[in-house]
A = this chain, B = another copy of it.
Amino acid sequence: MEFTKHLQYFQSILSNRCFVDQENLYKYSKDETEDISVLPIAVLKPKTTQEVAAILKYCNTHKIAVTPQGARTGLSGGAIPHEGSIAMSMEYFNNILEIDEKNHQVTTEPGVITEVLQNAVKEKGLFYPPDPASKGSCFIGGNVAENSGGPKAVKYGVTNAYVLNLEVVLPNGEIIWTGANTLKNSTGYNLTQLIVGSEGTLAVITKIVLRLIPHPTDNLLMLVPFFKATEACEAVAAIFRKGITPSGLEFMEKDALNLAKAFTGDEKIEVKENHEAHLLIEVDGFDKKVLFKECEQIMEVLGEFNTDEILFAEDEAQKNSLWNLRRKVGEAVKAHSTYKEEDTVVPRYELPQLLSGVKSIGKKYGFQSVCYGHAGDGNLHVNILKGDLTAQQWEDDLPKAITEIFELTKKLGGTLSGEHGIGLVQKQYMPIVFNEVQLNLMKNIKNLFDPNNILNPGKIVS
């Protein structure tokens, strides 16, 4: 009865962009996080900031929970509805509003696919570097909400390094800009960076102003097989110590690369039994000669380690194929087995310690793990496979094992998530890295923005 009244109101605002049919409720009940699914009570698809404001104002008054959703490609459950909440999909906010070539900026709505945005600005010679593995399907708004990374982050930084200004709707329906369209800004508290990475819990993003940089004109890519996985990790820090900053420095365990090969059907790369891990190394810039020189320097560093024959990508097709293998590892693991992914991040020199620690913990609890990720940033995706574990073991032991992995991460100077966010599924581990004072600060910030706890409740902090 109550719900019918609410629905009538939403329909008065959105007309036929309100959905309560099972197919839609199911579709919007989940993101790419494992197998979790919570049906929303309705799916709303606003098209304008004013519509978002009207919905939030109404929901705030009536204490109805709202879960904002991007493309639902997230891996921490940030877009999974709360019990009894409305799902608010931002998919109709799909316009790039202005590419400001003169100022190297773009103003976009949040529902634009990241790669679409990248291609649009590339046509103007401009570059938006952050490129999560899901760039072909994820939304730029979701990237801002999660502070997403990707392979290019090692040279160019993650999403937050590009966000200049945001139009957001606060939970009470008020619309504000968080900053200014300037490269520098020391004017009051940094509301922009408070919203970036807040996973839709503080405000709904409706417009995004991003800075852009000149698009590099050249790049070189190589795939390096290592006989020892920890040596691959050690080589990463050694390359940076040489003063080189690659535009990609990706680590893949043997199993990761093999699963991606099987998943994509792209079997061109030979992975030998004794290749414990590979590094995928890219350099980019504006001068091929410089890039060749950088590659030579990298080769010099690699000479200090036990590597097998290095593969240089010969053309665009081979580059795309290598990057595609890397990008598909996540999906390949998911298709292979029930799994749980952890997005550990440590100072990069600590990566070998993290890797061997993860393996020891796996041995202790009897699980296999597939590790890969952005080694240049110290960001290792640890995929724990269910494999032969019983459901009971999986349920009882997994949280213990994950706790041990995060305790190790913390000990090494790192933290829980490099780029996937905390969302729903990592929330329980927050006390490993934050004490009561820190957690209370975060809770109080949430409460300040959203006193009725209507916006994406149950995420990050409770």
Chain B min CB distance to A451 (Å): 10
A174 interface contact, C-beta 8 A: yes
Whether A287 sits at the interface, judged by CB under 8 Å, is yes
Cβ–Cβ contact B193 & A190, under 8 A: yes
Chain B: minimal CB distance from A436 (Å): 9
Give min CB distance, A7 to chain B, whole Å: 29
Selecting from A64-72, A180-188, A270-278, A310-318, the interface stretch reads A180-188
The interface bits of chain A over 327-363 (1 if a CB of B lies within 8 angstroms of the residue's CB, else 0) are 0000000000000000101111110000000000000
The contact of A445 among B148, B189, B287, B435, by CB within 8 Å, is B189
- When C-beta atoms are compared, the residue in chain B nearest to A445 turns out to be B189
Interface digits, A152-175 against B, CB 8 Å rule (1 contact, 0 not)? Answer: 011001101100000000100010
- Chain B's nearest CB lies how many Å from the CB of A437? 5
- The answer to whether the Cβ of A416 comes within 8 Å of any Cβ in the partner chain is yes
A154 to chain B, nearest CB (A): 8
Contact (A180, B438) CB under 8 Å given A421-B186, A460-B188? no
Chain B residues within 8 Å of A420, by CB: 186
A444 at the A/B interface (Cβ < 8 Å)? yes
Q: Taking the complex as formed, is A258 at the interface, i.e. its CB lies under 8 A from any CB of chain B?
A: no
Q: Name which residue of chain B comes closest to A429, CB basis.
A: B187
Complex interface bits, A421-462 against B, C-beta within 8 A gives 1, otherwise 0: 110000000100111011001101110110000000000110
Q: Counting CB contacts under 8 A, is A298 at the interface?
A: no
Q: Which of A211-266 contact B (CB under 8 A)?
A: 213-215, 237, 240-241, 243-245
Residues from chain B with a CB closer than 8 A to the CB of A149 are: 184, 186
**Chain A residues with a Cβ closer than 8 Å to the other chain, count:** 91
The CA-CA distance from A153 to B183 in the complex, in Å, is 9
A389 within 8 A of B: no
Q: In whole Å, how far is A76's beta carbon from the nearest beta carbon of chain B?
A: 8
User: Do residues B103 and A237 form an inter-chain contact, with CB atoms below 8 A?
Assistant: yes
Contacts of A198 in B (CB 8 A): 189-190
- A194-B193, A419-B186 known; A180 and B243 CB under 8 Å? no
A293 within 8 A of B: yes
The residues of B that contact A148 with a CB separation of less than 8 Å are 186
A108 at interface by CB-CB < 8 Å: no
Most B CB within 10 A of own CB, among A105, A435, A441, A449: A441
- Whether the pair A180, B437 counts as a contact (CB closer than 8 A) is no
| Distance of A343 Cα from B420 Cα, bound (Å) | 37
The distance from the CB of A300 to the nearest CB of chain B, in whole angstroms, is 15
Task: Tell me the nearest residue of chain B to A215, going by C-beta.
Answer: B243
CB nearest to A285 among chain B residues: B290
Question: Judging by beta carbons under 8 Å apart, are A180 and B413 in contact?
Answer: yes
Give, as a whole number of angstroms, the nearest-CB distance from A208 to chain B: 15
Q: A104 near B: Cβ within 8 Å?
A: yes
Q: Does A324 touch B at the CB level, under 8 Å?
A: no
- Chain B residue numbers with a CB within 8 Å of A187 are 415-417, 422, 430, 433
Q: Assess whether A100 is interfacial by the CB under 8 Å rule.
A: yes
Residue of B nearest to A286 (CB): B243
A418 contacts the other chain (CB 8 A): yes
**9 smallest A-B Cβ distances: which pairs?**
A193-B193, A180-B415, A214-B243, A184-B418, A102-B349, A103-B347, A181-B413, A186-B417, A182-B345
A→B interface (CB under 8 Å): 100-105, 125, 146-149, 153-154, 157-158, 160-161, 170, 174, 176-191, 193-194, 196-198, 202, 213-215, 237, 240-241, 243-245, 286-287, 289-290, 293, 343, 345-350, 374, 377-379, 413-422, 430, 433-435, 437-438, 441-442, 444-446, 448-449, 460-461
User: Can you give 20 contacting A-B residue pairs, CB < 8 Å?
Assistant: A100-B347, A102-B349, A103-B350, A147-B190, A148-B186, A170-B437, A182-B347, A182-B377, A184-B419, A185-B418, A187-B417, A188-B434, A188-B438, A189-B194, A190-B194, A191-B441, A213-B245, A215-B243, A289-B289, A444-B448
